[in-house]
Every structure is written in C-alpha cells, then in structure tokens.
C-alpha cells in the first residue's frame, strides 16, 4: 500500500510540474507580420548582445536583489534615489564598448523588480527624472547613440514589483488591484514603445513570482503588436513559449540544458533562441563579486550558444557613477579581439548541425561548416557523428593549411595536429555540398 501511495504522489507531482511549464490562460491566435519575421531572422544573425542591469540598487553594491535579500522596506529603499546621481554615465562610451566587443544589440533594464523606472515615465514618480538629482533619461540617450551606431536597442521590463501596493494586493487575490497593476504596466510599455524610436525587443522577467497568475498577456502582447508590430517579445518565464512570443530565452544556460536550474522540463522550441549569462555571478553591480569568468569561458559560451542555434546575451552591471567596471571592459575588449578575427564563424550562422560534442560544436553558413574545437581529445582526430553533408575540402580557418579528413557513413574524422591547436578555439572550415 505504501508503495502505491508513493507512486501516486510521484505521478501527481509530475503532473503538477508539467502543468507549470505551460501558461494556463487562453491567448489569441498570433500571426507574425512580415516585418516581425524579418526581425527574427536579423536577431538570429546578430548572435551576440550586451545585457545591462542598472538601477538605484547599484548604490548599495550588493546586486540587483538587495532590496529583497536584505528585506529593506519600500520607504527606506526609496531613499536610495537621493544617492543615485550617475554623472559619469556616457551612452557613447557604453555603445562603443559593446560594439568593439562584437555585440550587435543591447538589452537594458527599463524597470527592475524594485519598481524603479530608469526612464522618464508619466505613470509613476518613482523614476530617474522625478526622483533623482540626475534629471536625465539614460534610455533616451542610449536610444540615440544606438541608432547612430547601428546597434539594436531592447528593453528589459519587470513584471514583478516589490514596492507597489497594487502588485502586492493583486498577488493576494485583490482583482481590482491586479487590474490596476496591469493597467500601469500597459501605460509604461506604451511609453517605452512610443518615445524611444523603434525598439527591437521587450524582454519580460518576473513571471515566475506568480506561476499560476493571469498576467493578461493577451492584452499586453496585443498592445505591443499593435504599437510596434516589428518589436519582438521575449519572456524569461522558465516555461514553454506562449502564443505571441517571438524569442525563447534560457537563463544562465544553453538551450536544452539545465545547469542553472531554471529550465527543468522546458523543451527547445522552433523560435529564435537566446541564452543570457553573467560575466561574474551577479547581474547588478556587486562590489564583492570577484568571480569573473575567463576569456576562454566567455568565448566558449558564445560559440556553444551559436552551435545550438542561439544567441548569447552577456551581462554587465554598471557602477552607481554610470561607468562599466574595468574588469568587464577588459574582458569585453578581449572578446572583441577574438570576434574581429573569427566573427565570420559566429555572425549569420545557424547551429544544430550535430549535437554538441565533448570537443566542441559546429556552426554553419551557406556551404561552409565551422568546426569549433574547444576541448580537444587525446586522440589524433576528432569525430563528427552523423554528419550528412558531403565534405569537399577541409582547411584551417585562414585557409593556409589543408586538414586531412575521412568521411564514412557514421560521420567524419578530422585529423588534427595537437601541437598547433588554438587554446581558445581551433576552427576548421569545411566546404560542403
């Protein structure tokens, strides 16, 4: 009897987990516009973007969750606005740093979970214009600089709110308060989509705070599609994509993996894919976070994301004075040196040629396969399993050396010289037909 009960409980638990992986409320049928589909393709071609987590939380130097983790009351937390005066913020410098790293787009927090809006909003006084001495709209300045430099600008927007009473009461079941909060979000999204030029994407976060709630995505997504049909929608909800979304996101993970713990039971869809990751541990500025990832680790993530047909959105958390901290600038410069030389094997490519291997992955563009050897084995060859494309020739990335290969029914062998392999990423070009 005990075994039967345990089995039933396990089955019930499995059903509950499965149910949480899908949004439970009806959504209207969504047919993307021609411009939207073109924007999806352009997004896939970009491959590499800069994520920016910046807000008044940076003043405390303890990450973007400091209000929640230190249990700071909303009224007390609001005093941070008096200390936030980022006079060293320079949109031109930020965009230049991203561009020189090889990043093609920027996604910045317009409003995080602390409720503070980093733009001029008429829907609240708790924003950078009304509540701080800074009196400048950094999103407006970024929008102008991104347009000038050909960088696509996207806005992160938090669904969750630790400060507003309508959110807190709505979470407790007050339908009127919840409707008020939805109306507030729609007012802000309207501002973001009408005051800053064409925005590439709205990137939502915080759904997971209320997994069973009706977030009124039918209204919110329809509003975005109406105001800006070419603007893409992503939602970091950790469940299967919802009708109306254009991008599937993976937090701290590659598509199809769950090392970060957020993607259990989530299947990779046919939508364009994006992985977001930090350069240290925290997303927002953390004075004590010294867990900086190496150049090798960051490039590995970029290459593996491309090999899985996805983008990498790599985060920086600017300091309260408005500067991006030197360690991040240094790492991005190193990545930029690599992308300037090897970007051909990343930008405009597609993945899923073969499954990711212990030695690395493959990207594809036209009739060229780029074999990325990130971790060579001890064997004098690497094996490409189940490669169906017929190989015509194999060379080093610069084309100066021919690479011996042997293609069989099960795949292909590439014979490599371990003494000449690039420690970061040895790239072999395969001409196929």
Is residue 10 over pLDDT 70?
Answer: no
pLDDT digits (tens, 9 = 90+) for 255-311: 999 999 999 999 999 999 999 999 999 999 999 999 999 999 999 999 999 999 999
What is the distance between the alpha carbons of residues 190 and 415, in angstroms, rounded to a whole number?
56
Dihedral, 365, 149, 58, 326 alpha carbons, nearest 10: 80
Question: What share of the chain has pLDDT > 90, as a percent?
Answer: 94
- Alpha-carbon distances, residue 39 vs 91, 233, 272 (angstroms): 24, 11, 10
- Cα-based angle 339, 345, 347 (whole degrees, multiple of 5): 70
- Please name the helix (run of DSSP H) or strand (run of DSSP E) that holds residue 412, with its range, or none: strand 411-415
Helix (H, G, I), strand (E, B) or coil at 292: coil
Q: For the packed helices 326-342 and 295-307, what is the interaxial angle rounded to 10 degrees?
A: 50
Is residue 16 over pLDDT 70?
Answer: no
139-165: average pLDDT: 98
pLDDT value for 20: 53
- Per-chain mean pLDDT for the chain: 95
pLDDT digits (tens, 9 = 90+) for 97-149: 999 999 999 999 999 999 999 999 999 999 999 999 999 999 999 999 999 99
* C-beta separation of 140 from 119 below 8 A: yes
Q: Number of C-alpha atoms within 13 angstroms, CB side, residue 261?
A: 0
pLDDT value for 14: 38
pLDDT digits (tens, 9 = 90+) for 227-247: 999 999 999 999 999 999 999
Is residue 391 over pLDDT 50?
Answer: yes
Nearest to 309 by CA among 241, 386, 230, 247: 247
* C-beta separation of 350 from 309 below 8 A: yes
pLDDT value for 287: 98
Helices (H), 49-137: 66-69, 74-77, 91-100
304-319: average pLDDT: 98
157-171: average pLDDT: 98
76-93: average pLDDT: 98
Q: For the packed helices 91-100 and 326-342, what is the interaxial angle rounded to 10 degrees?
A: 40
pLDDT value for 418: 86
Phi, psi of 190 (to 5 degrees): -60, -45
Q: Kindly write down the DSSP assignment for every residue of 272-288, as one continuous string.
A: -EEEEE-SSS-SS-BTT
Q: What is the pTM of this model?
A: 0.95
* C-beta separation of 236 from 205 below 8 A: yes
């Amino acid at each position: 009897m005990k075994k039967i009960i345990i089995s039933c409980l396990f089955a019930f638990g499995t059903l509950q987990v499965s149910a949480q992986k899908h949004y439970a409320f009806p959504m209207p049928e969504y047919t993307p516009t021609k411009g939207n589909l073109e924007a999806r393709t352009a997004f896939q071609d970009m491959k590499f973007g800069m994520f920016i987590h910046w807000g008044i939380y940076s003043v405390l130097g303890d990450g973007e969750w400091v209000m929640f983790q230190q249990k700071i009351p909303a009224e007390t937390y609001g005093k941070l606005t008096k200390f936030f005066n980022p006079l060293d913020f320079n949109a031109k410098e930020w965009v230049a740093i991203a561009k020189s790293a090889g990043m093609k787009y920027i996604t910045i927090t317009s409003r995080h979970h602390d409720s503070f809006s980093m733009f001029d909003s008429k829907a609240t006084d708790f924003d950078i214009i009304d509540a701080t001495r800074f009196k400048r709209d950094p999103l407006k300045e970024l929008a102008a600089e991104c347009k000038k430099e050909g960088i696509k600008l996207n806005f992160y927007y938090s669904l969750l709110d630790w400060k507003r009473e309508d959110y807190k009461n709505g979470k407790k079941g007050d339908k009127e308060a919840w409707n008020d909060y939805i109306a507030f979000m729609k007012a802000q999204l309207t501002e973001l989509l009408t005051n800053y030029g064409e925005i590439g994407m709205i990137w939502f976060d915080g759904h997971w705070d209320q997994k069973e709630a009706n977030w009124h995505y039918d209204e919110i997504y329809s509003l975005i599609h109406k105001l800006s049909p070419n603007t893409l929608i992503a939602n970091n909800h950790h469940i299967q994509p919802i009708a109306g979304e254009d991008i599937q996101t993976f937090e701290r993970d590659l598509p199809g993996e769950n090392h970060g713990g957020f993607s259990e039971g989530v299947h990779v869809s046919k939508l364009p894919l994006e992985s977001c990751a930090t350069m240290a541990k925290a997303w927002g500025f953390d004075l004590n976070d010294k867990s900086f990832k190496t150049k090798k680790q960051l490039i590995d993530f970029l290459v593996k994301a491309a090999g899985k047909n996805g983008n990498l959105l790599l985060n920086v958390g600017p300091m309260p004075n408005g500067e991006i901290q030197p360690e991040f600038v240094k790492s991005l410069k190193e990545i930029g040196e690599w992308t300037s030389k090897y970007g051909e094997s990343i930008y405009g490519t597609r993945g899923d040629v073969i499954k990711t291997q212990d030695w690395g992955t493959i990207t594809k563009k036209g009739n060229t396969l780029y074999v990325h050897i990130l971790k060579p084995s001890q064997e004098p060859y690497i094996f490409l399993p189940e490669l169906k494309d017929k190989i015509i020739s194999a060379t080093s990335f610069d084309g100066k050396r021919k690479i011996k290969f042997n293609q069989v029914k099960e795949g292909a062998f590439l014979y490599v010289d371990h003494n000449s392999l690039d420690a970061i990423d040895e790239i072999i070009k395969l001409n196929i037909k």
